[in-house]
Amino acid sequence: MRIVLQRVRSAAVTIDGQAVGAIQQGFMLLVAAQDSDGDAEVDYLVRKISKLRVFSDADGKMNLSIQDVQGSILSVSQFTLYADTRKGNRPGFGSAGEPTHAKTIYEQFNAKLAALGIPVETGEFGADMLVQLENDGPVTIIFDTDQK
């Protein structure tokens, strides 16, 4: 799995002009899965993201987790994180997960985050979405389970 995490003050996703999900302080996640991804990858990323200490404490140090600040997550599926740009000018997406499997992994990931008590909003898997966010910091972190 690959995830691009951005610490945000707010984020929202719309489809055909209709608001689908929106959060205030928390994480905006772009999430992609491969066919080889399963429970181990999901559990690893849920643990890392739920405990990631990138919110400022009273001393201004990044020392608090999303749970510490009672933040939320906006999770958006993003198969293009597996773009292969090595040849030509048109990216290939052969490494991205088959849609049915990728959707299952994406839904499991979101459900496990929510089970920890973190409010999770989502986009719609496979839809053409508009995403707006106010990056806080900016803080952007990339997770790749192939490199853990």
Instruction: Determine which one of 27, 34, 55, 79 is catalytic.
Output: 79
Q: Between vectors from CA 122 to CA 116 and to CA 124, what angle results, nearest 5°?
A: 140
Are the beta carbons of 22 and 12 closer than 8 angstroms? yes
- Look up 80 and say whether it is catalytic: yes
Tell whether the torsion through CA atoms of 23, 28, 33 and 39 is positive or negative.
negative
| pLDDT tens per residue across span 59-80 | 999 999 999 999 999 999 999 9
Q: What is the pLDDT of residue 118?
A: 98
> Which structural domains are found in the chain, ordered by start?
2-133 (3.50.80.10)
Instruction: Determine which one of 6, 78, 122, 145 is catalytic.
Output: 78
Name residue 126's amino acid.
G
pTM of this structure: 0.95
- Look up 34 and say whether it is catalytic: no
pLDDT at 112 over 90: yes
Average pLDDT over every residue of 109-120: 98
DSSP states along 110-129: HHHHHHTT--EEE--TT---
